[in-house]
Amino acid sequence: MELFKKLKSILKLTRAEHSFMLIIAVLAGELIVYKNNFPGYIAIIASLITPIFISMASFAINDYFDVEVDKENNKKNAPLVSGELTKKEALWITAITLFIGIFASIFINYYAFIIAVIFGVLAMLYSYKLKEVLLIGNIYIAFSMAIPFIYGNFVMTDKFSLPILIVSSMVFLSGLAREIHGTIRDLKGDIKRKVSSLPKIIGIEASAVIAAVLYIIAVVISFYLFVFELKFHSFIYLGFIMITDLIILYISIGYLTKKNAKFYKLSRNLSLLALAIALFGILLAPLTFFPF
């Protein structure tokens, strides 16, 4: 019983459920570039293990550095705040999961290993310092949303696919817009913590406009993929992406007009839903495309 509680706390600390979306992104990247170039079952399995465990490590180390802030914000459900886990245990969990994630990439290829190492290091640096640096932390998070597609690309081939570059750009821009919205939501807390953020420098209105522009560019790219990229000639993809685009456009307009805590809370969940819908659309596109 005690072991079960400990495992439950570890899963809570590492946000293991978030790894599901990373797996979808990696698989989508692999399917987009697949052309009878199957790397083997071991490589495919390893390609899913790597993002799962590096993601777990990044969440664990983030809570390690944020424990005092979480206490101040009364996050009683956080394992390090509640005492379910100690800071020393969080460090061990970080080290073990990071090692497993990087070690698994050895069984894929050189490119996958390098990406895993670089991203693992960046995850540690983000939690330690980068998230406090103006825009750099936001850019890292947006990049972390796009990198699984790039990783999936290099699992299958040593050449960078143009469709992957376009998809990664779309996801990156959407992720950066979502992060900027997040800094608007967290403005009061960032002021107290003396964290540098875009709304603190240029104001809420200007930040909301920048986020809206980024989202609009991402929407344009999503339709470009359907029209011009062969493996995205899928009406299933189009259906998923249209739902996503409508959600993010609604969110963008809301940040320009509503500006209240109730909408901010709703927008956080809606943007996560939009991301999940888009991921499924991107995953299904190469499986259901029509060569018209």
pLDDT by residue for the chain (292 residues), tens only, comes to 577 788 888 888 898 778 889 999 999 999 999 988 889 999 999 999 999 999 999 999 999 988 877 777 677 788 888 888 889 999 999 999 999 999 999 999 999 999 999 999 999 999 888 888 878 989 999 999 999 999 999 999 999 999 999 999 999 999 999 999 988 887 766 666 667 788 888 998 999 999 999 999 999 999 999 999 999 999 999 999 999 999 999 999 999 997 777 888 889 899 999 999 999 999 999 999 877 6
Three-state SS string over 258-280 comes to: CCCHHHHHHHHHHHHHHHHHHHH
39-61 in b/e form (b: 16+ CB < 10 A) is: beeebbebbbbbbbbbbbbbbbb
Q: Are 179 and 207 in contact (CB under 8 A)?
A: no
Q: Write down the pLDDT at residue 1.
A: 59
Q: Write down the pLDDT at residue 193.
A: 63
Query: Considering Cα of 268, then 273, then 278, then 279, what sign does the dihedral take?
Result: positive
- CA distances (Å), origin 272, targets 3, 70, 194, 198, 244: 32, 22, 27, 21, 10
Kindly report the pTM of this predicted structure: 0.91
Q: Write down the pLDDT at residue 198.
A: 87
Q: Write down the pLDDT at residue 214.
A: 97
Domains of the chain in sequence order: 1-158 (1.10.357.140), 161-292 (1.20.120.1780)
Q: Which residues contact 46 (CB under 8 A, 6 or more apart)?
A: 104, 105, 106, 107, 108, 112
Residues in the chain: 292
Rounded Cα distance between 114 and 183, Å, is: 31
Rounded Cα distance between 105 and 47, Å, is: 7
Name the DSSP class of 68.
H
Q: Write down the pLDDT at residue 67.
A: 85
Query: Considering Cα of 19, then 279, then 66, then 98, what sign does the dihedral take?
Result: positive
